[in-house]
């Protein structure tokens, strides 16, 4: 009866009621089936309520002349004054452009964890694979403060690498004060720190591939590269698509910790992104919380638009990867 709805076309009222009843019973059945998991979900739900939804109350600061004495609710409304001021500032548009360019450069590193996961999967020794996983994952647990200190020791004008270049008779390279070089330094450090951690997701997806597919391909004469290209990558396509959507959705977020701990005033014109710009106008100048909130709200709207856009485009290519 349920299938006949799709065969004959437009359902009748009785068929609609039957479909509704069927879906309700199916939902109840699924809820009962996974009831043991709901207590675990409570912690995640509470986390997002406290740290994601409750702070949304402060969004109204973007439309108010906030004063500490009056508080959020008592401060007078300013309309779109903060946004008009924001769009008139050249330094904001510079930070906006830098955020986009740096994020696009970092997308060049998106395939790195995929390649790393495939390479680790090709290693026959499980013990050696686990050892390599530990080595590649370890940088993720180092803070950007630590990595920033290491990079400055290595790459400053008097650092280890420039001292080595000088001993070989070469001129020093301005790694930390040349904006163009600095942008690719951000790509390198981000890949070094996060590729090992991100590849865990891809390795989990690869572990779910039917091993008989590889056995059949081997019997047909496929080499390792052919097996990876024709079996592994297509099998984890949905995982790649979902993570790519998330990467696009956060493209305007930059990475505050990374840039804040690596950059300096000489590369502000090429490395100052929206989060660092918000920090500087809030804590290094006379604070204007309404204006800072307007910057953050504008950034969030752009992020949401890019997330929905990426989700729509990827969903057209792979319906299984569509998130929304």
Using the Cα atoms of residue 91, residue 97, residue 101 and residue 104 in order, give the sign of their dihedral.
positive
Q: Assign 3-state DSSP to the chain and report helix, strand, coil percentages, each to 5.
A: 80, 0, 20
Please report the DSSP string for 253-302 in residue order.
T--HHHHHHH--GGGHHHH--HHHHHHHHHHSSS--HHHHHHHHHHHHHH
**Average pLDDT of the residues in 15-41:** 85
Structure tokens at 28: 């109840």
Question: CA 104 to CA 122: how far, in whole Å?
Answer: 30
What's residue 202's pLDDT? 93
The answer to whether the beta carbons of residues 274 and 252 sit under 8 Å apart is yes
Q: Is it the case that residue 9 has pLDDT exceeding 90?
A: no
**Average pLDDT of the residues in 127-144:** 90
Buried (b) or exposed (e) across 32-54, using 16+ Cβ within 10 A? eeeeeeeeeeeeeeeeeeeeeee
Number of helices (H), then strands (E), belonging to the chain: the values are: 19, 0
End-to-end CA distance of the chain: 30
Q: Identify which of 12-16, 111-115, 304-308 has the greatest average pLDDT.
A: 111-115
Q: Identify which of 11-20, 58-67, 196-205, 310-319 has the greatest average pLDDT.
A: 196-205
> Residue 179's CB: how many other CB atoms inside 10 A?
16
Question: CA 268 to CA 89: how far, in whole Å?
Answer: 15
Structure tokens at 132: 């390599």
Question: CA 217 to CA 293: how far, in whole Å?
Answer: 56
In this predicted model, which residue has the larger pLDDT, 318 or 291? 291
Q: Is it the case that residue 115 has pLDDT exceeding 90?
A: yes
Question: CA 321 to CA 85: how far, in whole Å?
Answer: 40
pTM: 0.75
Phi, psi values for residue 11, rounded to 5°: -75, 155
Q: Is it the case that residue 42 has pLDDT exceeding 80?
A: yes
- Residue 191 pLDDT class (50, 70, 90 cuts): very high
What's residue 6's pLDDT? 46
Averaged confidence pLDDT in the chain: 85
- Residue 190 pLDDT class (50, 70, 90 cuts): very high
> Residue 299's CB: how many other CB atoms inside 10 A?
21
What's residue 288's pLDDT? 80
What's residue 18's pLDDT? 83
pLDDT tens by residue, 241-297: 888 888 887 777 778 889 999 888 888 888 888 888 888 888 877 778 888 888 888
The answer to whether the beta carbons of residues 57 and 72 sit under 8 Å apart is yes
Task: State how far the alpha carbon of 283 is from the alpha carbons of 7, 76, 92, 160, 276, in Å.
Answer: 64, 23, 16, 33, 10
């Amino acid at each position: 009866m349920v299938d006949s709805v799709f065969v004959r076309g437009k359902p009748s009222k009785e068929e609609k009621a039957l479909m509704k009843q069927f879906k309700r019973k199916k939902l109840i059945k699924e809820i009962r089936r996974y009831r043991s998991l709901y207590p675990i979900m409570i912690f995640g739900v509470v986390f997002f309520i406290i740290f994601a939804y409750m702070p949304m109350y402060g969004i109204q600061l973007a439309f108010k002349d906030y004063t500490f004495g009056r508080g959020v609710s008592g401060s007078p409304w300013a309309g779109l004054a903060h946004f008009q001021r924001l769009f008139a500032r050249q330094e904001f548009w510079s930070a906006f452009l830098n955020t986009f360019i740096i994020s696009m450069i970092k997308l060049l590193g998106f395939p790195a964890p995929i390649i790393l996961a495939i390479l680790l999967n090709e290693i026959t020794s499980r013990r050696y694979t686990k050892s390599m996983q530990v080595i590649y994952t370890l940088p993720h647990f180092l803070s950007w403060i630590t990595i920033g200190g290491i990079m400055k020791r290595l790459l400053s004008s008097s650092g280890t690498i420039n001292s080595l270049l000088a001993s070989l008779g070469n001129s020093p390279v301005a790694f930390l004060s040349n904006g163009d070089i600095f942008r690719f330094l951000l790509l390198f450090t981000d890949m070094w720190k996060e590729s090992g951690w991100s590849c865990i997701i891809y390795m989990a997806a690869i572990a779910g591939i039917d091993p008989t597919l590889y056995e059949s391909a081997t019997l047909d004469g496929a080499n390792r590269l052919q097996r990876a290209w024709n079996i592994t990558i297509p099998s984890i396509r949905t995982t790649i698509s979902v993570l790519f959507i998330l990467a696009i959705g956060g493209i305007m977020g930059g990475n505050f910790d990374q840039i804040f701990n690596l950059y300096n005033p000489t590369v502000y014109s090429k490395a100052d992104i929206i989060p660092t710009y918000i920090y500087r106008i809030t804590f290094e100048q006379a604070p204007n919380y309404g204006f800072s909130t307007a910057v953050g709200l504008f950034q969030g709207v752009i992020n949401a638009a890019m997330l929905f856009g990426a989700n729509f485009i990827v969903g057209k290519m792979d319906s299984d990867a569509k998130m929304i």
